[in-house]
Structure 1
Amino acid sequence: MSRSPSLRPLSTQLLRAGLLLALGLPASAWAEESPRRSFQVGGGSLGAVLTRFAGQAGVSLSVDPALVAGRSSLGLEGEYAVEEGFAALLRGSGLTLVPAGPGSYTLVHQIEPVEGVQVLPETTVHGQGLGMVDDSYAGGQVSRRSTLGMLGERDYMETPLSVTSYTSELLQNQQARTLADAVANDPSVRSTNPAGGRFEQFSVRGFSLYNSDVAYGGLYGVLPTYSIDMEMIERVDILKGPGALLGGLAPNGSIGGGVNIEPKRAGDTPLTEFTALYASPGQGGGHLDIGRRFGEGQRFGVRLNALRQAGDTEWDHQRIEREATVLGVDMQGDRTRLSLDLGHQQRDVDAPMERVGLAAGLKVPDAKDVHHNFAQPWSYSRAKDTFGVVRGEYDLSDNWMLHGALGARKGDYDFMRHAVQVVNSAGRFTVSPRAFQREEDVVTGTVGVRGWFDTGPVGHTLNVSLNRFDLTFDNNGARYASGISNLYQPVALPEPGAPLALDSPVHTHTVLSSLALADTLSFVDDTVLLTLGARLQRVEVDSSEPGEPDQRYDEHATSPAVGLVWRSTDQLSLYFNYMEGLTQGQTAPETANNAGKVFAPYRSKQLEVGAKYDMGRFSTTVSLFRIDKPSYYTDAQNNLSADGEQRNQGLEISLFGEPLERVRVLGGAMFLDAEQTRTANGRNDGNRAIGAPVVNANLGVEWDLPAVDGLTLSARVIHTGNQYLDAANRQKIDAWQRYDLGARYALKLGDKDLTLRASIENILDKTYWASANVPDGTATGLTLSAPRTWLLSATMGF
């Protein structure tokens, strides 16, 4: 937690330092030896950098502005003791520190050592300084830091909520292709749409999470809507619970948790890597990653990632082509830090797998009897997204920083699809082809100010933030002649001819705006951190459709939030949070009879308590939570309707790190009680919510073989409990397990670094229903598991 330098007069600090020197006491006499801990301090003016480091370290620092005028620092990141970190920041400046009391320092000109006086020693520091953040926990799979929207980045032990941040190293070693592969590591997150489908969608703590609600450096609406490639990202932060205070309103109303993706930045060391990619039975491609820094002090950085992979999947007549190019540029000045990210992603899928809906009262089909892709060969999904974000930070003074970001995205989507609604036990369903086109234009931005100061013994980090999200989308479509197929024995039907009817075009304009204020107060030497905040939110929706009355909403609400962290010891943090959020109402999907209907905004609430224990190389989080929100369901007439509330409460356990030398673990469990309440006439009160398993569990293990240097074996098991497909709890899918195995070998090929990877997902080739419905009721259906898939890659560094 950040804390500002002391506001005591400089003369008082100098007097204390002079007395210390006059008495001939060693400089460490008033300074206890501090433990090493993780820091991340960006570059800028020397005064501002020293102030931020002192704030993170929880010590007081007095600085004569004349000493630091015109000086700059590259900053630092990594693990340091307090004195070690100051020495790294001041190296070569001709300045040094002298203790002026317990936890208090004064900056002075460096002088020649004299008898009886100890000068801070020269220290060798291993850190990246300016550029790419590398703050990995032991084992390199998880980062210690996460982005908390307007609150900035924080160490996970000082964060009043459950959060796990997966590193690019982990994702590369697991050969993660999309966000679905990344979140498979988390027991509280599950994919609710088939792999190789038109889009990806997830549940967190039993509530839906949409790709459009995934933030990019804390900014919503910038990343591609339907699928997000992992090769372009540096870190994936998964934050549990409503995040209205942190980032404003999520565009599609996700409340169970959020995902933030951090872009790649150039590091100090020049980088040129090429990775050859292969996925069975025939998806080949490559990924190029180049990073360089230029200019005086390497202030300018450029990072380019380019990807292409294409070929057949393990499903019949299914082919995927994916392309992505992302360019990241950054500049670090004395007081100014700027960055620009530009990207384009395209994903084409032939015969995308569909969810399977069931008629009311029908027995759930046995997934083991499904052997083929039941999507028609002529169905397809075409998605193109072009996006960009510019960001900036400016140090108004050593204690105040102005920051802002502006992003935009244009999306073009074209689908030819059909629903799969099984109507009898023989697996019969009607193929009703539908073309669907969608265009999205997003402009989103945030501006804020952050300040560090003290009021007596209390430290403050004050944040003020203004957010605005502006989305315009247009939907069009057409309907074609129907045919009959079968879930177990699919029938290839002729490609659709002329349309029978055109859908009415739908135009929707949504504006989500908010103003937030938050203050994090630190007490008792920063061992107690209390965050108090509120966000004034406004939801404006204007949706029009020919022949239908326009739907307009303009709602306001103030959402409070409280977060408390108590660092009871260096290893143990206890935390509590209460958060509310105003969320945009659901929109009926294109499969519903009332497609396009926009429901009124609603409030959500979360209460959570937890504990985090850091054993140095191994860490665990235990949390209890409760989330309440209105619920939706698709009725017998295939209309999306609001009905009652859903209350999800549960216990989460997560763990990561390197408990034994050469052994890394990553996983945990979630025990969920998801109950329907206040339903119409009480007909479903007490029933379990749709698509909400009682138990999820993950365990991944990596082992570096001592006998073969560079060889690592890995294994992972994923368990998901049984789920209900319907609100009446008459249709249920069984629990399932997935087993993955992998290996990688890092070696030298001449003077080049080479890493070979091989892994098998779903090694037993089990077929099962991975998910029953989307938990908010907007798109009913069963999600079929992906077949056994081989993944191979080879990364060469040049």
Structure 2
Amino acid sequence: MAVDRRLQHGEVFEVAGQTGAVGHQLVYGGDFSTTQQKGIRGGTVPPVGETFPTRAFPTTDYTLAGIFLQDELSVLDGTLRAYPALRYDYYELEPKTGDPLFTGTAPASQSKSHLSPKLGLVWQARDWAGLFFNYAEGFKAPAPNQVNNGFANLVSNYRSISNPDLKPETSQTFEGGVRLRGDRWAASATAFTGEYRNFISQVLVSRNFTAASPGLYQFVNLNQVRIRGLEGRAQAELGHGFRLNVAAAYARGTQETRGVKTPLDTVDPFKAVAGLSWRDADDRFGGQLIATHSAGKAQDRAGGTCGTTCFTPSAFTVLDATAYWNLARQLTLRAGVFNITDKTYWWWSDVRGLSQTSPVLDAYTQPGRNVAVSLTARF
């Protein structure tokens, strides 16, 4: 059981103006949230070697705060726009100590802040074509359960351990692309590259999985990480209520430690999704046929968690069909048939780190053919 008590607030303000031939649209604001994360593992019969109740992580007060300032500069009659921006982030992580239900390493506190600049450019070259470029620096605070963790599965001989030295993740990203549009269609393509410092990733520190030397999972900082990729999407109105949507994404990642480069195994293989939808003119009912394709994970990109013995899932394509019927203005019936061809497949993100001989591989497969029906009432 987990309890998440949250106080969250955010405000955004806008101010418009003109300086000579340059138009301004100033946007500023902030956000604040404080969360108490609290969880307990309990039940009537604990697993072998365990006692109930216990905690997998300590009760933690987690505060996130940020303020930002952005100006939209418009020149050349609005065909060229620039978006300079600046953001300040702060976080504080304060676990409760002395809890007898948490048997992991003594929990650690953290608090840090960061200033991140950003610049965006958009050039509307034609009514039907535009180019864009973005540079951004990012900041990602570690989560409480990444810093302090004490979960153990004694039956399967593995544990997840704390990392009190875990640092926030920072990044520099560049992206550029083109947007095209017509009367009944739109398309875009984007290329991006990102360089990360102290990239946060969960790794398998020890993989013996024996009672004397259990497998150890831990969130760590990877020294230098680079991720590059391409994304594209398109949609078209085909007439008579039909619409076609297509999207695809490809990324490749590497990490470097003391001059040695290795694949970043958290990057998913190439993925493409295509959907053909239809709805009647009054939007009373409609449906969609969706095809999802994922490439297989190459063995040489599986990373170092299990070397050449890693299980790498093959490519697959899955078909889903969904439909809806608005029975009344506030009542909607939805139904779907998923994995229509009853395909056996795995997502790489689910099996990353498992060996080819793992006896639990089948437990990570996605559901076979299944049906879902729901009724939604809005008041």
- 1:516 maps to 68
**Alpha-carbon distance between aligned partners in 2 of 1:509 and 1:499, rounded to the nearest angstrom:** 26
- 1:603 maps to 170
- 1:622 maps to 189
| 8 Å CA contact retained: 1:736, 1:770 | no
Per the TM alignment, residue 567 of structure 1 is displaced from its structure 2 partner at its CA by 1.1
**Alpha-carbon distance between aligned partners in 2 of 1:738 and 1:714, rounded to the nearest angstrom:** 14
Report the CA distance shift for 1:758/1:476 in structure 2 as closer, same or farther (over 3 A). Answer: closer
**Alpha-carbon distance between aligned partners in 1 of 2:259 and 2:63, rounded to the nearest angstrom:** 35
- 2:224 maps to 645
| 8 Å CA contact retained: 1:505, 1:545 | no
User: Which of 257, 271, 280 is 1:696 aligned to?
Assistant: 271
- 1:561 maps to 118
User: Which of 283, 288, 307 is 1:714 aligned to?
Assistant: 288
**Alpha-carbon distance between aligned partners in 2 of 1:686 and 1:481, rounded to the nearest angstrom:** 40
Counterpart residue type for residue 614 of structure 1 = R
Per the TM alignment, residue 741 of structure 1 is displaced from its structure 2 partner at its CA by 2.9
Deviations 1:442-490 (A, max 9, x none): 112223431001011111011221322212223334697646xxxxxxx
Instruction: List aligned pairs for 1:35-74, cutoff 5 A.
Output: none
- 1:454 maps to 18
Per the TM alignment, residue 655 of structure 1 is displaced from its structure 2 partner at its CA by 1.3
Per the TM alignment, residue 534 of structure 1 is displaced from its structure 2 partner at its CA by 0.7
**Alpha-carbon distance between aligned partners in 2 of 1:791 and 1:501, rounded to the nearest angstrom:** 35
User: Which of 127, 141, 150 is 1:584 aligned to?
Assistant: 141
Per the TM alignment, residue 797 of structure 1 is displaced from its structure 2 partner at its CA by 11
**Alpha-carbon distance between aligned partners in 1 of 2:10 and 2:285, rounded to the nearest angstrom:** 45
TM-score, L = length of structure 2: 0.76
Matched, 1:473 2:40: no
**Alpha-carbon distance between aligned partners in 1 of 2:280 and 2:12, rounded to the nearest angstrom:** 49
Per the TM alignment, residue 760 of structure 1 is displaced from its structure 2 partner at its CA by 1.4
- 2:262 maps to 686
Deviations 1:281-317 (A, max 9, x none): xxxxxxxxxxxxxxxxxxxxxxxxxxxxxxxxxxxxx
Name the Cα RMSD after superposition.
Answer: 3.7
Report the CA distance shift for 1:796/1:595 in structure 2 as closer, same or farther (over 3 A). Answer: closer
User: Which of 205, 229, 232 is 1:635 aligned to?
Assistant: 205
Structure 1: unaligned runs, 5 residues or longer:
1-413, 415-437, 484-495
Instruction: List aligned pairs for 1:81-480, cutoff 5 A.
Output: 414=1, 438-477=2-41
**Alpha-carbon distance between aligned partners in 2 of 1:501 and 1:795, rounded to the nearest angstrom:** 37
Counterpart residue type for residue 734 of structure 1 = S
Query: Which structure shows the higher strand fraction?
Result: 2
SS in 2 for 1:506: coil
User: Which of 351, 371, 377 is 1:790 aligned to?
Assistant: 371
Per the TM alignment, residue 712 of structure 1 is displaced from its structure 2 partner at its CA by 5.2
TM-score, L = length of structure 1: 0.38
- 1:572 maps to 129
Matched, 1:532 2:102: no
Report the CA distance shift for 1:650/1:620 in structure 2 as closer, same or farther (over 3 A). Answer: same
Per the TM alignment, residue 504 of structure 1 is displaced from its structure 2 partner at its CA by 7.9
| 8 Å CA contact retained: 1:691, 1:774 | no
User: Which of 59, 64, 76 is 1:507 aligned to?
Assistant: 59
SS in 2 for 1:593: strand
Per the TM alignment, residue 554 of structure 1 is displaced from its structure 2 partner at its CA by 2.3
Matched, 1:552 2:109: yes
SS in 2 for 1:669: strand
- 2:314 maps to 734
Counterpart residue type for residue 671 of structure 1 = Y
SS in 2 for 1:678: strand
User: Which of 95, 115, 128 is 1:543 aligned to?
Assistant: 95
| 8 Å CA contact retained: 1:585, 1:598 | no
Per the TM alignment, residue 646 of structure 1 is displaced from its structure 2 partner at its CA by 3.1
Report the CA distance shift for 1:530/1:769 in structure 2 as closer, same or farther (over 3 A). Answer: same
Per the TM alignment, residue 763 of structure 1 is displaced from its structure 2 partner at its CA by 0.6
**Alpha-carbon distance between aligned partners in 1 of 2:59 and 2:205, rounded to the nearest angstrom:** 25
**Higher relative contact order (Cα pairs below 8 Å, separated by 6+ residues):** 1
Structure 2: unaligned runs, 5 residues or longer:
153-158, 207-214, 355-360
**Alpha-carbon distance between aligned partners in 2 of 1:728 and 1:627, rounded to the nearest angstrom:** 26
Q: How many pairs does the alignment contain? A: 337
SS in 2 for 1:645: strand
| 8 Å CA contact retained: 2:256, 2:262 | no
SS in 2 for 1:769: coil
| 8 Å CA contact retained: 2:306, 2:353 | no
Deviations 1:378-405 (A, max 9, x none): xxxxxxxxxxxxxxxxxxxxxxxxxxxx
The percent identity for this pair of structures is 20
Per the TM alignment, residue 694 of structure 1 is displaced from its structure 2 partner at its CA by 3.0
